[in-house]
Amino acid sequence: MTAILISEVGPRDGLQNIATVMPLAAKKAWIAAEAAAGVREIEVGSFVPAKLLPQLADTAEVVAFAKTIPGLIVAVLVPNARGAAAAIAAGVDKLTLPLSVSETHSLANLRKTHAQVLDEARAIAALIAALPVARRPHFEGSLSTVFGCTLEGAIADAQVARLADDLMQAGCDEVGLADTTGYADPAAVRRMIALVRRVVGDGALTGIHLHNTRGLGLANALAALDAGLTTLDSSLGGLGGCPFAPGASGNIVTEDLAFMLAAMGYQTGIDLEKLIAVRTILSDALAGEPLYGFLPDAGLPLGFAY
């Protein structure tokens, strides 16, 4: 069956939404353990000013460590060209620039209008184009709040389509969809994938970032799979959300997503027992932070083979 890439976003999206600052040694242990469990892509941090997100102030050091792990795709989020330059200098394999389709959220999150974010996208594309081909990171433009915004409400399809095209024209390799506020449902996921693909083409939309705010995370993931997407973001223990979108709690749980995919026969390369064991690193380093997930509580079914 189709191979599906689970992109672990906990070290970035999970940690940015909690007050606790995880020690660097614990971050390294987390990333190493997940990679050893078979997770092939990890978003290890974000190049943002430390005063804004002190939880991610050591991203350059985390990237340097992650790059020593053979075969791991080391990804980061960047808010602008300055952050992208730092990411490129650190040697990342993938960088993501968020463009909220809600301009109200864009101003709250990045303090930039749509036009200003697109200027940053063009500047990032120019930085990448100036590199030797072998050193160029993959550049994704993420369409945030694409299923609705807690600050602005529903976003017109025409605006989503225009911004998707704008990102590709600015030089992104692909666009991604992000349910930043947890508003998505399976029908909306299928509809939005079709809408954006009509603009950018099938090859330029392969991934989606989902939250489980209202309990529909795995249902939405299944809808994305049925629509042909092959990359799904998730967070170990369900850590995360968006600190700039009120109520946008809860990424989908990596453990539960990996189990669902394995049960359905999809290939992820992940050892489920090893993945569950990684939670100990989080519980030890983030005392008092709740961890979510059904698989870790219930365990694998008797005789389960994958």
What is the reported pTM? 0.95
With cut-offs at 50, 70 and 90, classify the pLDDT of residue 241. low
| 230/12 Cα distance (integer angstroms) | 21
Q: Which residues of 276-288 are buried (b: 16+ CB within 10 A; e: fewer)?
A: bebbebbeebbee
5-298, what's its fold? TIM Barrel (3.20.20)
pLDDT of 98 above 60: yes
DSSP label at residue 133: G
Instruction: Tell me the CA distances in angstroms from 141 to 17, 126, 218, 226, 239, one per residue in order.
Output: 21, 14, 23, 23, 23
* Catalytic residue check, 242: yes
| 159/177 Cα distance (integer angstroms) | 14
- pLDDT at res. 128: 98
- pLDDT at res. 105: 83
Q: Which of 294, 300, 285, 205 is nearest to 14 (CA)?
A: 285
| 162/191 Cα distance (integer angstroms) | 16
Q: Which of 56, 77, 79, 63 is nearest to 31 (CA)?
A: 63
Contact yes or no for 91/63 (Cβ under 8 A): yes
The string of DSSP letters for 236-291 reads GGG--B-TTSTT-B-BPBHHHHHHHHHHTT-B----HHHHHHTHHHHHHHSTT---
Contact yes or no for 174/205 (Cβ under 8 A): yes
pLDDT of 191 above 70: yes
pLDDT in tens, 107-163: 877 788 999 999 999 999 999 999 999 999 999 999 999 999 988 889 999 999 999
pLDDT of 245 above 50: no
Query: From the DSSP assignment, how many helices (H) and strands (E) are in the chain?
Result: 12, 8
Catalytic residue among 44, 63, 76, 242: 242
pLDDT in tens, 204-213: 999 999 999 8
Better pLDDT: 121 or 182: 121
pLDDT of 243 above 80: no
**Helix-strand-coil split of the chain, %, nearest 5:** 45, 15, 35
Q: Which amino acid is at 152?
A: E
